Structure 1
Amino acid sequence: MRAVRFDRFGGPDVLDYVDLPEPTPGPGQLRITVEAAGVNYADTHQTDGSYLAADQLPFVPGSEVVGRTDDGTRVLARVRGGYAEQVVADAGTVVPIPEDLPAAHALALLMQGLTAWHLLTTAARLASGETVVVHAAAGGVGSLAVQLARHMGAGRILAQASTDAKRALALDLGADAVATYPLENPADVILDGTGGALFDDALGSLGTLGRIVTYGSAARTPAAPVDPQRLARLGASVVGFWLRPVLARPDAVTGPLRELLALTAAGALRPLAGPSYPLADVRRAHQDLLARRTTGKVTLVP
């Protein structure tokens, strides 16, 4: 079968399109023929070696797929090595999905949807009526966080994005206004997956008892050190979030994912389908993602 693998850390150029043996499911596993694999920003960090958890080389990236099990059931699954024509998955991570649900929409609800859900509930502990700022609000996580914040009772939602088109998209998804720092009125919750100078600007607009949740470093530059006394004066918090350990907690996946699927089926949540690339064009997919030329869920199609 065909798959994507890298044998050394680096940029998109280290991703190779190769032949690998077909996987054989072990006890408690299912084999899935991949319809589409999701691309996440974390995949680029795995590729360059900057991911929080180091992976052993050689490595096949990809943590989520839509496809069919050997009995023909269409499923959404968390996997290792998803950039491939076939994968195996633990049966407990496999969720049947409707035939009419687009693969990109289903994939958007898995890692990115669960991230947005847990950012607002588990990490930020959003309360009704609070003001939320979402960075990269047209991206995979951000676009869902904007919508979920409204569903969860946020009083005001501000969107930060890098271009006029992306800001317009965030407003169309339900944001009340564009976030421009310093904010006129301090925020209760700020979701930041960018880091760097944007994190520093955001911290300056955090209100009393506010929470800024940092869950990524797309800027790939460090933020300035945080003065604990500055936080103490506000009673504010900087909360770190990483999805991987959260997924190991009881009820961290099934309940939230069912909620996300139900909201999507009811038309209350609109996942964004981004560009789709042939699996062989994985380098271009990563290049476009790193250059912030994409919006919504990026997918690879074998």
Structure 2
Amino acid sequence: MRAIQITEFGGPEVLRLAEVPDPVPQPGQLLIEVDGSGVNYADTHAVEDSYLSASTLPMIPGGEVVGRDQDGRRVVALTATGGYAERACAWAPMATEVPDEVSDAAALALVVQGLTAWNLLRTSARIAPGESVVVHAAAGGTGSLAVQLARRFGAGRIIATASTKEKRELALSLGADEALDADPEGLKERLVEANGGKKIDIVLEMTGGPVFDASLAALAPFGRLVTYGLASRQDPEPITAAKLMGRSRAVVGFWLMHALGRPDLHAEPMAELLRLVATGELKPQVGGTFPLSDARLVHEALRSRATSGKLVLDPRR
């Protein structure tokens, strides 16, 4: 079968199209004929072996697929690796049947990024009605869903950040009250000003470095900063107990892996998200569907912040 395989760690240049043997499902796994493979920012870390879990070589990247299982069911599934291919294996509990009303790309937008956005707000931030929420990278796959869900969950004021005017306009169209430039210079002051001069209750942060530092400084007493990525590949300033205690602030880490297998954090939210998309109440943003052979170009665009919404690879092309 055709797949994207890496035999050395590095940047997008190590992603190469190859002919590899078909995967063989273990007992309890589904073999899926892949119609679409989702691309996530975490994939760029896995390819360079800088992610939270170590990668091994040779590797077929990709953690999410949509397609047909051996029983003919249309499913969207999480895979540890192996997603950028014509066929992939997934453990049965990691697969969810997709309603006819939900497109392949929309389903892929939910299985990692939708579940992440839901859990960032509900599980980690424990959002309460009326609270202010900052969503960084608000035009991305996770951010664009987080803006919509924050509104649905009763946020009082939603402040988005994004790197371009077009991305900020998209965030506003999805329900953000304000959309700011993502430049970390002066970011703390801009966030507070956008919240009517008040500090922020919740920040969803996946950039790291100075954006993390400015976001933490903008938190109100009892505010929560939820960190779920390190897109800048820069660590923030060290955080001491005194810095947190002195202002009654919290920093919460989130990794979707810890939600998997828990019905209240995985199966039930996934069913809710699919239902909302099927009824048109939640609108995943699709950034484009590209041939499998273009995986390198897609990773380059993703790392350069030139994309918005969900990115999909088509293994049939």
* TM-score (structure 1 length as normaliser): 0.97
Cα displacement (A) at 1:2: 0.5
Cα displacement (A) at 1:72: 2.3
Check whether the contact 1:192–1:199 (CA below 8 A) recurs between aligned residues.
yes
Query: What is aligned with 2:280?
Result: 267
For the residue of structure 1 that corresponds to 2:147, the secondary structure is helix
Asked if 1:112 corresponds to 2:119, the answer is: no
Query: What is aligned with 1:74?
Result: 74
Query: What is aligned with 2:184?
Result: none
For the residue of structure 1 that corresponds to 2:113, the secondary structure is helix
Asked if 1:258 corresponds to 2:258, the answer is: no
Cα displacement (A) at 1:211: 0.5
CA distance, structure 1, for counterparts of residue 175 and residue 131 of structure 2 = 15
| CA deviation map 1:20-63 (0-9, x unaligned) | 11122232222111000000000000001110110221111111
Query: What is aligned with 2:235?
Result: 222
Query: What is aligned with 1:139?
Result: 140
Aligned pairs for 1:3-82 within 5 A: 3-79=3-79, 80-82=81-83
Cα displacement (A) at 1:227: 3.5
Cα displacement (A) at 1:284: 0.4
Check whether the contact 1:139–1:295 (CA below 8 A) recurs between aligned residues.
yes
* Counterpart residue type for residue 24 of structure 1: V
Cα displacement (A) at 1:188: 0.3
Q: Give the 3 Å change call, closer, same or farther, for CA 230–25 of structure 1 in structure 2.
A: closer
Cα displacement (A) at 1:250: 4.2
Cα displacement (A) at 1:181: 3.0
Query: What is aligned with 2:188?
Result: 181
CA distance, structure 2, for counterparts of residue 28 and residue 204 of structure 1 = 47
Cα displacement (A) at 1:277: 1.2
Query: What is aligned with 2:183?
Result: none
CA distance, structure 1, for counterparts of residue 101 and residue 132 of structure 2 = 35
* Counterpart residue type for residue 57 of structure 1: L
Check whether the contact 1:105–1:273 (CA below 8 A) recurs between aligned residues.
yes
For the residue of structure 1 that corresponds to 2:65, the secondary structure is strand
| CA deviation map 1:117-139 (0-9, x unaligned) | 01001111111110000000000
Query: What is aligned with 2:251?
Result: 238
Cα displacement (A) at 1:248: 3.8
CA distance, structure 2, for counterparts of residue 239 and residue 262 of structure 1 = 28
CA distance, structure 2, for counterparts of residue 239 and residue 218 of structure 1 = 17
Q: Give the 3 Å change call, closer, same or farther, for CA 244–114 of structure 1 in structure 2.
A: same
| CA deviation map 1:198-241 (0-9, x unaligned) | 11111111001000111101111121122432221221101111
Alignment RMSD: 1.2
Aligned pairs for 1:156-171 within 5 A: 156-171=157-172
* Counterpart residue type for residue 74 of structure 1: R
Asked if 1:285 corresponds to 2:298, the answer is: yes
* Counterpart residue type for residue 54 of structure 2: A
CA distance, structure 2, for counterparts of residue 161 and residue 176 of structure 1 = 13
| CA deviation map 1:164-207 (0-9, x unaligned) | 11111000000011245311221000000111111111111100
Aligned pairs for 1:178-217 within 5 A: 178-179=179-180, 181-182=188-189, 183-184=192-193, 185-217=198-230
Identity over aligned pairs, percent: 53
For the residue of structure 2 that corresponds to 1:202, the secondary structure is helix
Check whether the contact 2:201–2:222 (CA below 8 A) recurs between aligned residues.
yes
For the residue of structure 2 that corresponds to 1:75, the secondary structure is strand
CA distance, structure 1, for counterparts of residue 99 and residue 215 of structure 2 = 40
Check whether the contact 2:93–2:261 (CA below 8 A) recurs between aligned residues.
no
* TM-score (structure 2 length as normaliser): 0.92
CA distance, structure 2, for counterparts of residue 111 and residue 206 of structure 1 = 27
Check whether the contact 1:194–1:219 (CA below 8 A) recurs between aligned residues.
yes
Mark the runs of 5 or more structure 2 residues left unpaired by the alignment. 181-186
Aligned residues: 302
CA distance, structure 2, for counterparts of residue 224 and residue 111 of structure 1 = 28
Cα displacement (A) at 1:100: 4.0
Decide which moves more: 142-151 or 238-247. 238-247
